[in-house]
């Protein structure tokens, strides 16, 4: 039954309040490899199915009226994986970007890639620039694709930017505060995530949005990412809406 456990899940009866939706949902889409292994398939088959899930969830979030969504697609640590898997992931990401306007047509989604893209192939960098330019005037959901992203690296990037501006006389040491640091992160101008979802039963932040997640609500599920459905998202949002966010207060 382990193989088919997710297939026969009951349809969610979660009722969500459309007036109190999280503004920004971030997702750590874990479990592609395990999904494939359970089916005797190569890991890249799981990544492809995970890519299909991403398209479904992005369109559903856009339909709901979610303003921001950030998805962790490739971390700075993922380079340690076998070359064949890395190559497969990069190929899928390029394919996703290349077909985004068709796959997400009618969803009014704007796409932004966050992370250090300078080490990616020139072809992938061109595709990133193309799709960002193509969707920049869309006014619906902003989809942040975290690619070659690491939370610690992002903070180091911000510190270097601030250090450079101090050296150039553009800033003073006394100018540094949390607002300034936030403005030097990859996510500048984007509100911190209200809700962070992690699939597959893992319960780690995995170096994802370390600064931004200071007061985020986490929601975990044992569902593997390729099996994650809009009903699962509704369960996460409903659980979020039942929580009392105090931000350090009473």
| DSSP string covering 117-134 | GGGS-HHHHHHHHHHHHH
Catalytic position from the list 6, 17, 19, 30: 30
Report the alpha-carbon distance of residue 132 to residue 134 in Å, rounded: 5
In tens digits, the chain (250 residues) has pLDDT values of: 334 344 445 565 778 999 999 999 999 999 999 999 999 999 999 999 999 999 999 999 999 999 999 999 999 999 999 999 999 999 999 999 999 888 887 889 999 999 999 999 999 999 999 999 999 999 999 999 999 999 999 999 999 999 999 999 999 999 999 999 999 999 999 999 999 999 999 999 999 999 999 999 999 999 999 999 999 999 999 999 999 877 776 6
Strands (E) across 135-180 are located at 142-149
Among 78, 153, 192, 207, the active-site one is 78
How many angstroms separate the CA atoms of 46 and 227, rounded? 10
Show the tokens assigned to 39.
Answer: 């089916």
Q: Cα–Cα–Cα angle for 212, 214, 217, nearest 5°? A: 100
**Among this protein's residues, is 194 annotated catalytic?**
no
232 has catalytic annotation: no
Angstrom distance (rounded) from CA 89 to CA 209: 21
All structural domains of the chain with their residue ranges: 21-150+192-241
Asked: is 21-150+192-241 a CATH 3.30.360.10 domain? The reply is: no
pLDDT at residue 9 in the model: 54
Task: Name the nearest CA neighbour of 193 among 173, 166, 177, 216.
Answer: 216
């Amino acid at each position: 039954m382990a193989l088919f456990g997710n297939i026969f899940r009951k349809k969610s009866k979660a009722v969500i309040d459309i007036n109190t939706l999280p503004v920004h949902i971030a997702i750590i889409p874990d479990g592609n490899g395990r999904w494939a292994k359970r089916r005797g398939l190569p890991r890249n088959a799981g990544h492809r199915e995970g890519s299909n899930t991403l398209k479904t969830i992005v369109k559903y979030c856009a339909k709901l009226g979610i303003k921001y969504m950030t998805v962790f697609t490739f971390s700075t640590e993922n380079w340690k994986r076998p070359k064949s898997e890395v190559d497969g992931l990069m190929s899928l990401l390029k394919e996703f970007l290349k077909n985004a306007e068709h796959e997400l047509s009618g969803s009014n989604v704007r796409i932004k890639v966050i992370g250090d893209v300078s080490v990616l192939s020139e072809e992938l960098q061109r595709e990133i620039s193309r799709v960002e330019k193509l969707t920049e005037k869309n006014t619906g959901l902003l989809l942040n694709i975290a690619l070659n992203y690491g939370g610690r690296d992002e903070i180091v990037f911000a510190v270097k930017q601030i250090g450079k501006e101090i050296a150039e006389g553009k800033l003073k040491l006394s100018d540094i505060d949390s607002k300034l640091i936030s403005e030097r992160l990859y996510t500048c101008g984007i509100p911190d995530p209200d809700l962070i979802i992690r699939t597959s039963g893992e319960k780690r932040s995995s170096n994802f949005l370390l600064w931004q997640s200071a007061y985020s609500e986490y929601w975990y599920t044992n569902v593997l990412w390729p099996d994650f459905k809009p009903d699962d998202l509704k369960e996460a949002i409903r659980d979020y809406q039942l929580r009392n966010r105090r931000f350090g207060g009473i």
